Structure 1
Amino acid sequence: VMKTEAPADIARSISLVKRLDEVRRTTEFANQRAKLRRPPMDLFSRGMADPKSKVALLASDSRFQNWALVVIVLNAVWIGIDEDHNHKGSGIPLVVFDVGEHIFGFCFTFEILIRILAYRKKADFFNDKHLRLWNIFDLCLVVMMIIEIWVLLILDADASTLGSLSVLRLLRLLRITRVFRMVPELGMMVKSMAAAARSVSSTLAIILAL
């Protein structure tokens, strides 16, 4: 009897271990996702917006937030294209790059204004404990973009000044970090890749040491 029951017991034990492992991994995933969960964007639930404000409704709308993310990703791609092809020998009219800069400038200016006006008290834009750092960060990037695209153009700045500010344009790529904040799964993927890279590097170090 023992010989016939032992395999069944082993199979049940293996199945139980697998289920426990699945539960553990699911729990770890949920915990990691909770850590990376986006800050609450709904100003109404936190009493920081006028319930009758259409601007606040727009700022809290997921479609508006998704539009902003799409613009951020497109702008990151555009910066790469601009750096590679914004010269006379590229075959692309330079006015195309100027128009692109103006379009992104208007988009980001519109987005930051909507986010500021969404607050019942405009000073809360800088005091929001959940979004204060992101708000200030995004505002600084928009101000830099406005200076680069429109202020210096109006002041007719020389080429050397514009050339030095082209380095600041690359700082806009930091805005892409908002994507990881809004999509926690991407942040988890990056953390997993970093952990895997550490494991691989440690393994290679051991192999080389041998």
Structure 2
Amino acid sequence: MKAVNEGRIGITDSVIRHWDLCIQCRACEVACPSGVPYGNLIEATMQQVADKRKPNFVNDKIASLALKRLLPNQGLLSMVVGSMRLYQRLGVQTAIRKSGLLRLLPGNMGELEGSMPELPSEVFKAQGQAGQHERRWESAKEQNADLTLEAYYEEMGKRVPIGRVGEAREAGDLVTFLVSDRAAYITGVAVNIDGGTSPVV
């Protein structure tokens, strides 16, 4: 990054690959014995890398649809994942990979297909609340058989400053924001999604 900002090297594909491997958490900044201001280097390099990247209309649209339409919709997500599972189970994936058709896909879609993991037979379905609370409720029912899930959540919410238990979609909303263009300047952050329980600023 220092060489890029001093103009000694350009923004090449090799530099961008190196950049992509950095999670930009800045942990190296506090550990560096030479006191190198990595945060400043990251900020100065970020826009240069963004300018160098070639916009890909197809990839941008697919990413946008996935984040805004697919992931929030459990029914649609299950249908897509089910189709992908059939694609693997029926041998279509193997045939397409052997045929070389993946090279004809636009952008890096072929690479993405190549990195697709083997999909499980069952798809996780978010229920709107964290699963560990339901497991704890089942345990609590052993002492109080009349305890309803709603009453349990209400009781758990009393322990949270905001007054309620968090929902899975709230974590999803944060992830959606962090991968959006609006969060492009955020290079490394730890966020507590706990309704104000952690005493941090």
TM range (shorter): under 0.3
Normalised TM-score (structure 2): 0.25
Normalised TM-score (structure 1): 0.24
Say which structure is richer in helix.
Answer: 1
Larger Rg: 1
Looking at both structures, which has the greater relative contact order when contacts are Cα pairs under 8 Å and sequence separation is at least 6?
1
